[in-house]
């Protein structure tokens, strides 16, 4: 629910069915997926399935089964993703209406969402199968476009909602409103509304703050604003955000998690709020979240704490 505690929680349950989503284009993922399937079957789960077509998985239930992809005709208790953060985003989108506890084994380049190193997959999976899994509920964002029902549905965002100029040249002017109050107008390349999960992505590259997953906050970050005084702001989980496209020197777009794009018209208003249900991302209790930040962002300086004197 909005404003709920988003800190780490114990699952307390043992999964009986599992789905493995493996991006075999990642080096090493195919070998680990084979080992993982044997590992899960050895633990006598009632049902285990493998899916390798991650790009099409969010439409899996609607498309006919192919020879290379087994049909998914059940709702698993556990999803294990072998890939990067993009694969986690696709999984969260596929199970948006029925969030499934999801563990990400990192075979990508960064791995904020797919947090478990590939070298520790056995420890992490064993913990979950024993009912000792650790879940990090991740805040999600939902957006609506005015009252025109002819628009395509907007997917829920695990990371971010972006309003930006689609043209190569020119800028976009957008007005930001929070709880009905006008905040300011940005003349910029775009505006990012990010969840804590998304705060370490596009928003961070644009100068936004890092929000820990346990913080139920929303970061609003302008992209290359025309004016040095513009700074990112952090809003609370009950905030009602509205973005008005005042003027655009060319086409403008609404982008959700970098995976869904819709064209916007001048004068349109986008409403954004926190979705009532968080997404249950699983992690491994042996992980240090701050070490994850140090390693993923390449922070230099003192990598180990100084000894107290």
Separation CA 255–CA 57 (nearest Å)? 19
Asked if 214 contacts 203 with a C-beta cutoff of 8 angstroms, the reply is no
What Å distances lie between residue 158 and 189, 198, 265, CA to CA? 22, 7, 25
Which one of the listed residues 23, 77, 85, 257 is annotated catalytic?
85
Q: Per-residue pLDDT for 167 more than 80?
A: no
The topology under which CATH files domain 9-139+278-297 is: Rossmann fold (3.40.50)
Q: For the chain, give the number of residues.
A: 309
Average pLDDT over residues 200-205: 93
Domain 141-274 indexed as CATH 2.60.200.30: yes
Give 135-148 pLDDT, tens digit per residue: 999 999 999 997 55
Confidence of residue 64 (pLDDT cuts 50, 70, 90): very low
Separation CA 221–CA 307 (nearest Å)? 37
Does the annotation mark 85 as catalytic? yes
Confidence of residue 195 (pLDDT cuts 50, 70, 90): very high
Across 109-113, 264-268, 271-275, least confident range: 109-113
The helix or strand, by DSSP H or E, that contains position 19, with its residue range, turns out to be strand 17-22
Which pLDDT score is estimated for 67?
29
| pTM, entire model | 0.88
Give 229-249 pLDDT, tens digit per residue: 899 999 999 999 999 999 988
Domain spans of the chain, in order of start? 9-139+278-297, 141-274
What Å distances lie between residue 22 and 58, 67, 72, 79, 296, CA to CA? 14, 16, 14, 10, 22
Give the bridge partners for 177, in sequence order.
Answer: 182, 242
């Amino acid at each position: 629910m909005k404003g709920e505690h988003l800190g780490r929680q114990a699952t307390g349950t043992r999964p009986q069915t599992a789905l493995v989503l493996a991006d075999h284009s990642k080096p090493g993922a195919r070998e680990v997926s084979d080992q993982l399937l044997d590992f899960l079957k050895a633990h006598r789960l009632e049902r285990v399935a493998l899916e390798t077509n991650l790009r099409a998985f969010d439409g899996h239930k609607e498309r006919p089964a192919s020879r290379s992809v087994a049909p998914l005709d059940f709702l698993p208790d556990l999803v294990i993703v072998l890939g990067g953060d993009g694969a986690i985003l696709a999984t969260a989108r596929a199970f948006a209406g029925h969030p499934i506890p999801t563990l990400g084994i990192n075979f990508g380049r960064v791995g904020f969402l797919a947090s478990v190193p590939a070298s520790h997959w056995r420890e992490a999976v064993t913990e979950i199968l024993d009912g000792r899994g650790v879940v990090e509920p991740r805040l999600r964002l939902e957006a609506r476009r005015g009252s025109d029902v002819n628009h395509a549905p907007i997917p829920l965002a695990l990371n971010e909602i972006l309003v930006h100029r689609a043209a190569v040249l020119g800028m976009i002017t957008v007005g930001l409103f929070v709880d009905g109050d006008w905040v300011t107008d940005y003349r910029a390349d775009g505006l990012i509304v990010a969840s804590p999960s998304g705060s370490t992505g596009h928003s961070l590259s644009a100068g936004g703050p890092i929000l820990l997953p346990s913080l139920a906050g929303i970061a609003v970050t302008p992209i290359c604003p025309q004016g040095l005084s513009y700074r990112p702001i952090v809003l609370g989980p009950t905030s009602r955000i509205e973005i008005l496209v005042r003027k655009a020197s060319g086409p403008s777009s609404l982008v959700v998690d970098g995976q869904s794009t819709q064209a916007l018209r001048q004068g349109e208003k986008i409403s954004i709020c926190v979705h009532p249900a968080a997404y249950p991302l699983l992690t491994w209790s042996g992980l240090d979240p701050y070490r994850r930040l140090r390693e993923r962002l390449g922070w230099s300086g003192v990598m180990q704490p100084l000894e107290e004197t």
